[in-house]
Amino acid sequence: MAETQHAEILIIGSGPAGWTAAVYAARALRDTLVVTGMQPGGQLTITTEVENWPGESHIQGPELMVKMQEHAEKMGAKVANDHIASVDFETRPFKAVGESGTVYTADSVIISTGAQAKWLDLPSEEKFKGFGVSACATCDGFFYRGKEVLVIGGGNTAVEEALFLTNFASKVTVIHRRDHFRAEKILQDRLFKNPKVEVIWNHALEEVVGDENPLGVTAARIKDVTTGAIRELPVHGVFVAIGHAPSTELFVGKLPMRESGYLITEPGSPRTAIPGVFAAGDVTDETYRQAVTAAGMGCMAALDAERFLSEQEAHVEAAVPAE
């Protein structure tokens, strides 16, 4: 028979939003359980250096996630190293089933499954992730002051990343496999007017080239998609900017979501369409996608979950007839 665990607040996902929610929920003396998911710590576990976390001028991404987990557990949160395979929000208490077979029930749920950058799935790209290959200019652009970088993509994400990188890099080359961008016209105009930017049309990344010890990018081989010709660009950073995909497959048909797959919440709130179910962090935020904003949303979700539970308890007490 499958094991069943119950919590007042079940948190699905363990990035900055999840751990912050756990700190606040446990500190409110609520029975709190975090199910970590397949990538405990989220995207920060593949980020080497973090310099924009308040109070930490320099910290490794995995180290920051370990500290956040330790904080949550110190407050009293419990942790299950499992991956949720299915959820049922139509029953009360809510139910989630892990791949381990464990059934998790909860009076309130906070979804913080995050989002994943889309990658090109090149072996060399995987090799240099965190060592010259990135999917977040806002996170890592600072490390490329005075250096040449390459941005791959043709949508708003790519153009915005390229423009941001001009604040640091000496030159930003953008390659796109088509002969035009999909990005908004106003963004394209800004890009084309920037003297630091060069655009190479009809090209795709073929291979990332770099040093072995220590790991670091030195060049990128790009391929002309019309002629097949390959050439090498000397660059120190490669930014893959082909978009992000929210980790919401689990909630298809369970919760309203945008066409892009991001969960819909009430404006300025982590509340979803189902009372008692909240969403926080990159799973609902396709604009900022920062650790600090995710953490703030995790705080909001925990506070709202506490209010929801308190209101439910008040209703139960009011319904009990006086003796």
Q: Give me the active site residues, please.
A: 136, 139-140
Strand partners, 237: 149
CA distances for 274 relative to 119, 256, 263, 290, 308, angstroms: 33, 9, 12, 26, 12
Close Cβ partners of 32 (under 8 Å, ≥ 6 residues apart): 7, 8, 9, 11, 22, 25, 26, 72, 76, 77, 78
210 within 8 A of 189, measured Cβ to Cβ: no
289 within 8 A of 296, measured Cβ to Cβ: no
Closest CA to 114 of 11, 29, 203, 229: 11
The structure tokens listed for 86 are: 């299915």
Three-class secondary structure of residue 55 per DSSP: coil
CA distances for 26 relative to 14, 23, 72, 126, 220, angstroms: 15, 5, 7, 37, 47
Strand partners, 217: 210
Region label for 134, one of left (φ > 0), alpha (ψ between -120 and 50) or beta (otherwise): beta
